[in-house]
Amino acid sequence: MKPLAVTAYTTTTAVGQGNAALIGALMAERSGLRPNDFTQHPLETFIGRVADVEAVRLPSHLAPWDCRNNRLALLGLESDGFIAAVEAARRRYGADRIALVIGTSTSSIGATEEAYARLTPEGHFPDDLCRPEVHTPHSLGVFLARALDLRGPCVTVSTACSSSAKVFAQAERLLRLGIADAAIVGGVDTLCGSVLFGFNSLELVSKEPCRPFDPTRNGISLGEAAGFALLEREGVADSDAWLIGHGESSDAHHMSSPHPEGLGAELALRDALARAQRAPAAVDYINLHGTGSQKNDEVEGALIARVFPVSPATSATTHAAPAHAAPAHPAPAHAAPALAASSTKGFTGHTLGAAGIVEAVICLLAMKHGFRPGTLNARSIDPDCGPHVRLHGEHAPVRVAVNESFGFGGNNCVLVFADRAAP
Amino acid sequence: MSTCLEVRVSGVGFWAPRLPDWQTACAVLAGRAEPEAVARSRPAPALLAPTERRRAPDTVSIALEAASRACEAAGVDPVSLPSVFACTHGDGAINDYLCGTLASNPLLCSPTRFHNSVHNAAAGYWTIGTGCVKPSTALTAGSETFAAGLLEAIVQALADETPVLYVAYDAAMPGPVGEVSPSAGMIASALVVEPLKGDGPGVRPAGVGRCLRARVAPGAQAMPEASVSPGSIPHAWFAALPANSMRQCLPLLAFLASDAEGRMQMQLNQGCVLEVDIEEVTTHG
């Protein structure tokens, strides 16, 4: 496909507001997870809670949309010059030529939960929550359209944990067909009772900080996040960050567990690489879905091991092979370092509908800073999860990065980013 | 004004309690029949295993019914179709249950109802039931949901040169949330759209094989449903349908059911509309 320039991007997660906080935490191996202090009813788990969301105040014209999710959305917009970049795009293209494609799994359901917890004695919502604006999932899309004064197509994508990865694919199609000249993509999801107790009911929540790909991993840690990116066409924008491929698929297997052989995930991955016109060997870094659940990591590790070749450098760095077992054809000195893959959910928690954008931004930051993050909290990497998954981060050039997102309903999306448009 | 997007509608599916299939809906629209006197309960999707059929949310049941009928009408195997599922609110009954349970005893939350609460539940069950590994998406755009989903389905069809299944549906919003964010009854509609090229089938049932020419344009107002005039629509048609959030789909479906040609606009965002010309397909050769 024709690459799209990513001309601005930002994300706010439990490790802090904006990209600098995120890359800083990734390099320092500092987690944003903390013991659950969010739910009124106790639940023993760790969460990736964004500080000071409660303190955000919406301007008066946005007051009907006030809720935790939209506050986090606003907090997320106010970093990395993102609003200024949108304003510049609005001047350049016109507000009706910018599409807004945004992902979320639970949107503002937290406000509906609160209303049920505070029903009047007659069983109605309390007055302050009698606002239809927050009791429907498109609350996020409308809020952002108003906050950014955008007048192009506006849609909220909600495919569970692949939501804010799929927005890149949907936006790319809109730009390819000339429906819009630029697109704001991204996603916002906030902690709420539904997801904490819902994932708990499925026995997928860990009591400890999640440790993806560890042989003793025992579940996920939930988190919240907001993230956004501005996409523009090649030729119009000069950039060192490009969306070069996307792939989507369905598992056709089960609502809440992945296909045992990663069938759908592999289709999405191969479609993304084909659109990107890149061979697996061209990929330098993969941000894995890596939730820390037993099944996801096993299936995903096997997929990566199957699709991506093991280069001599991979086996040398991962398994510290003894000298006499050195490969017969050592990699030449100028060869790019071997592929590294990691899950960053130990830093941020699993941010569900925002995971796609958070981890897309991590891929972009990996390219910008020449840094490949590690898999925080894991003490060792499960040998069943293949040779590419790395425990620790390392400084190394990243030219091509892949982001994997898989959601309930067997909904898969893989994105490919590169530091330049041409192969 | 942006690119003109041209697709053919090769199949339509519909389900509402008193208009339980597209043929009935077309007959009532044409004044040849009355709506069914007694509202039906929700359909049982044959695609699902018996236990899942019983536990499936209303939104899933009606979406799968309409989707199956649209694929049959188009004569296409669902396995070959990417799909776009559009629903304004998600499943109201599940949200009412989840929020109520969270407020009383959150540890009693049902795992099945939780995984059925995702907005893409119908998309998930559809792909599982049909064995379809093609991409599937689920979206909402509030009162603009039908238009936003239609745009995405048309865009996918043209961008990847493939027929696409589009399903738009809403169920009731029960409980306290329904007082603030209301929707009554059930409506599901489904279209198979495909790039407008090649030979079409020679003879088609009503509403099939017609062409949509769509474009995104600046604009302030969508037309209210009653002002859409593909000829004269019997009052019985609109009256037979509940005050459901997916009434959004009715103006376009009225065009498709009536065999009328014309132009309509649907709001996509503040200051932006999807303008659609509905025409007969002219096939050559």
Q: Does residue A332 register a pLDDT over 80?
A: no
Residue A200's nearest CA partner among B41, B108, B30 is B108
* Residue of chain A minimizing CA distance to B87: A137
- Closest partner CB to B133 (pick from A123, A156, A264): A264
Q: What is the pLDDT of residues A124-158, one digit of tens each?
A: 999 999 999 999 999 999 999 999 999 999 999 99
Chain B: closest CA distance from residue A272 (Å)? 12
Q: Does residue A352 register a pLDDT over 50?
A: yes
| pLDDT band at residue B228 under the 50/70/90 scheme | low
Mean pLDDT of A391-402: 97
Give CA–CA dist A331/A102, Å, rounded: 43
Question: Residue ranges per domain, chain B?
Answer: 5-280
Chain A residues closer than 8 Å to B123 by CB = 159, 250, 409, 411
Contact A137 B89 (CB under 8 A): yes
Mean pLDDT of chain B: 90
Chain B: closest CA distance from residue A371 (Å)? 32
How much is the pLDDT for B51? 87
Give CA–CA dist B169/B245, Å, rounded: 8
Active-site residue numbers of A?
161, 289, 350
Mean pLDDT of chain A: 94
How much is the pLDDT for A187? 98
Q: What is the pLDDT of residues A246-263, one digit of tens each?
A: 999 999 999 999 999 999
- Exposed e or buried b per residue across B229-261, where buried means at least 16 C-beta atoms within 10 angstroms of its C-beta: ebeebbebbeebbbebbbbbbbbbbbbbbbbbe
Task: Show the DSSP H helices in A129-176 as ranges.
Answer: 139-148, 163-176
Both structure tokens of A119: 């029903």
Q: What is the pLDDT of residues A165-223, one digit of tens each?
A: 999 999 999 999 999 999 999 999 999 999 999 999 999 999 999 999 999 999 999 99
Chain A: closest CA distance from residue B171 (Å)? 13
Domains of chain A: 4-319+336-418 (3.40.47.10)
Q: Does residue A328 register a pLDDT over 60?
A: no
Q: Looking at the DSSP assignment, which residues form a beta bridge with residue A221?
A: none
Q: Are strands A34-35 and A16-17 parallel, antiparallel or unpaired?
A: unpaired
| pLDDT band at residue B258 under the 50/70/90 scheme | confident
Q: Does residue B134 register a pLDDT over 70?
A: yes
Yes or no: say if A82 and A228 are a contact pair by the CB < 8 Å rule: yes
Reported pTM: 0.95
Determine how many CB atoms are found less than 10 A away from the CB of residue A370.
14
Choose, out of A114, A161, A174, A255, the residue to mutate when testing the contact with B (most B CBs < 10 Å).
A255
Yes or no: say if B146 and B86 are a contact pair by the CB < 8 Å rule: yes
Range list of β-strands (E), chain B: 5-15, 83-86, 136-140, 164-170, 187-195, 210-218, 262-269, 272-280
Determine how many CB atoms are found less than 10 A away from the CB of residue A29.
16
Residues in Cβ contact with B188 at an 8 Å cutoff, skipping those fewer than 6 apart: B13, B14, B15, B16, B62, B63, B65, B66, B167, B168, B169, B246
- Closest partner CB to A179 (pick from B131, B155, B181): B155
How much is the pLDDT for A322? 40
Q: Does residue B224 register a pLDDT over 80?
A: no
Give CA–CA dist A164/A288, Å, rounded: 15
Residue A217's nearest CA partner among A378, A30, A65 is A378
Tally helices (H) and strands (E) across chain B.
10, 8
* Residue of chain A minimizing CA distance to B52: A255
Yes or no: say if B272 and B216 are a contact pair by the CB < 8 Å rule: yes
Chain A: closest CA distance from residue B235 (Å)? 29
Q: Does residue A33 register a pLDDT over 60?
A: yes
Choose, out of B5, B136, B215, the residue to mutate when testing the contact with A (most A CBs < 10 Å).
B136
Q: Does residue B231 register a pLDDT over 60?
A: no
Chain A residues closer than 8 Å to B148 by CB = 153-155
Contact A96 B218 (CB under 8 A): yes
Q: Does residue B270 register a pLDDT over 70?
A: yes
How much is the pLDDT for A102? 98
Fold of the domain built from segment(s) B5-280: Peroxisomal Thiolase; Chain A, domain 1 (3.40.47)
* Residue of chain B minimizing CA distance to A201: B111
Chain A residues closer than 8 Å to B107 by CB = 41, 197, 200-201
**A/B interface, count of CB pairs below 8 Å:** 241
- Closest partner CB to A124 (pick from B133, B179, B181): B179
Give CA–CA dist A148/A142, Å, rounded: 10
Give CA–CA dist B31/A106, Å, rounded: 43
Choose, out of A194, A220, A261, A270, the residue to mutate when testing the contact with B (most B CBs < 10 Å).
A194
